[in-house]
């Protein structure tokens, strides 16, 4: 089992097997890759690109995929997934980032949500394809993932929305298609509250059944600008991790923080939960014990 740090800052907290840097998050702001940190890139979620090119935004009958459109509850803006100029620029960018880091972890590499995109270009492409709406969207995403696979020479991981049932209808994502090009998957289970752990365990069981490549789970700890009162409790994160890992078959976990300081705070808080960690050992199974042993190993490095 591996632990990965997943940060917005180019720092490498101790106690993790590997580190992922968000070199291009959904804001669209880019920072330089680091040679010994995997690079995370948000592909079509790019608020800065939409600000610079408003006509690039993904469209739908319920309005554009733009920050503030609460019909989709997205907190950034999304570029149309068929925009040729943007696609080409992203391929070149991904290839260059791959050259400078150990590999690429992608998210937002799909349509914004259901009913996207209905811009004139997408309508024309759909009409010419002769395919149904959902199959055309699947074809567009799967073919672009093949192009990304061609330019990424190192490890390629696709991050997935935590929807095992309707990702095809919502995002144009077919798990079997993507498995042809991904080395691994990462299911992004971000939440400001993990008080109902059975829900996350249920999702883990569903993805284990569906995915044909190994997968990680990403959990939320502390994001940029967060109020400490609004972040998940360390006890919740420990509990949901144990519940998910007892399903078996996980590659491991990513823990998201803004930077190293917030990660160390989380590690300290996890170690303080000795009674909880002992109780979680009764959840049974080798994966749970391995997870808890990994957490306990932080005692050697966290002061």
Domain ranges of the chain: 43-185
Contact between 171 and 138 (Cβ < 8 Å): no
Q: Is residue 303's pLDDT more than 80?
A: no
* Element of type H or E holding 74: none
pLDDT confidence bin for 25, thresholds 50/70/90: very high
- Long-range contacts of 286-292, Cβ-Cβ distance < 8 Å, separation of 24 or more: 287/1, 287/245, 287/246, 287/247, 287/248, 287/250, 288/242, 288/245, 288/246, 290/1, 290/245, 291/1, 291/241, 291/242, 291/245, 291/253, 292/242
Kindly report the length of the chain: 303
Q: What is the mean pLDDT of residues 185-201?
A: 97
State the average pLDDT for the chain. Answer: 97
Q: How far apart are CA 233 and CA 217, in angstroms?
A: 18
Q: How far apart are CA 82 and CA 121, in angstroms?
A: 8
- Structure tokens belonging to residue 253: 């976990």
pLDDT of residue 74: 87
Fold for 43-185, please state it.
TIM Barrel (3.20.20)
User: What pLDDT score was predicted for residue 73?
Assistant: 84
pLDDT in tens, 279-289: 999 998 999 99
- Better pLDDT: 72 or 129: 129
Model confidence over 103-118: pLDDT tens digits?
A: 999 999 999 999 999 9
Model pLDDT, residue 284 = 81
The better pLDDT of the pair 67, 210 is held by: 210
Q: Give percent of the chain above pLDDT 70.
A: 100
The per-residue pLDDT for 252 is 97
pLDDT tens digits along 45-72: 999 999 999 999 999 999 999 988 999 8
Average pLDDT over residues 117-143: 98
Q: What is the pLDDT of residues 86-103, one digit of tens each?
A: 999 999 999 999 999 999
What percentage of the chain exceeds 90 in pLDDT?
96
pLDDT confidence band for 83 (50 / 70 / 90):
very high
Q: Are 242 and 219 in contact (CB under 8 A)?
A: no
Give the residue-averaged pLDDT of 82-87: 98
Taking residues 31-40, report their average pLDDT.
Answer: 98
| pLDDT recorded at residue 247 | 96
> 222-231: per-residue pLDDT in tens?
999 999 999 9
């Amino acid at each position: 089992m591996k632990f990965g740090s997943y940060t917005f800052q180019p720092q490498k907290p101790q106690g993790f097997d590997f580190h992922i840097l968000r070199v291009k998050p959904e804001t669209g702001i880019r920072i330089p890759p680091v040679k010994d940190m995997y690079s995370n890139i948000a592909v079509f979620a790019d608020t800065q690109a939409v600000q610079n090119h408003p006509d690039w935004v993904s469209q739908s009958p319920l309005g554009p995929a733009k920050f503030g459109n609460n019909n989709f509850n997205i907190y950034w803006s999304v570029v149309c997934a068929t925009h040729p100029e943007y696609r080409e620029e992203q391929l070149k960018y991904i290839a260059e980032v791959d050259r400078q880091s150990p590999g690429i972890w992608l998210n937002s590499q799909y349509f914004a949500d259901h009913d996207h995109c209905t811009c004139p270009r997408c309508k024309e492409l759909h009409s010419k394809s002769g395919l149904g709406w959902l199959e055309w969207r699947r074809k567009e995403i799967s073919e672009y993932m093949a192009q990304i696979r061609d330019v990424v020479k190192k490890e390629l991981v696709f991050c997935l929305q935590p929807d095992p049932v309707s990702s095809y209808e919502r995002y144009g994502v077919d798990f079997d298609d993507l498995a042809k090009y991904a080395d691994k998957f990462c299911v992004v289970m971000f939440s400001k509250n993990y008080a109902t752990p059975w829900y996350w365990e249920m999702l883990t069981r569903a993805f284990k059944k569906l995915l044909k490549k190994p997968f990680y789970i990403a959990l939320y700890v502390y994001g940029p600008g967060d109020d400490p009162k609004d972040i998940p409790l360390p006890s919740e994160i420990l509990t949901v991790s144990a519940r998910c890992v007892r399903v078996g078959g996980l590659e491991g976990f990513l823990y998201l923080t803004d930077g190293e300081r917030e990660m160390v705070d989380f590690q300290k808080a996890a170690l303080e939960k000795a009674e909880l960690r002992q109780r979680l050992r009764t959840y049974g199974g080798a994966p749970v014990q391995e997870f808890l042993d990994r957490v306990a190993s932080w005692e050697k490095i966290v002061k």
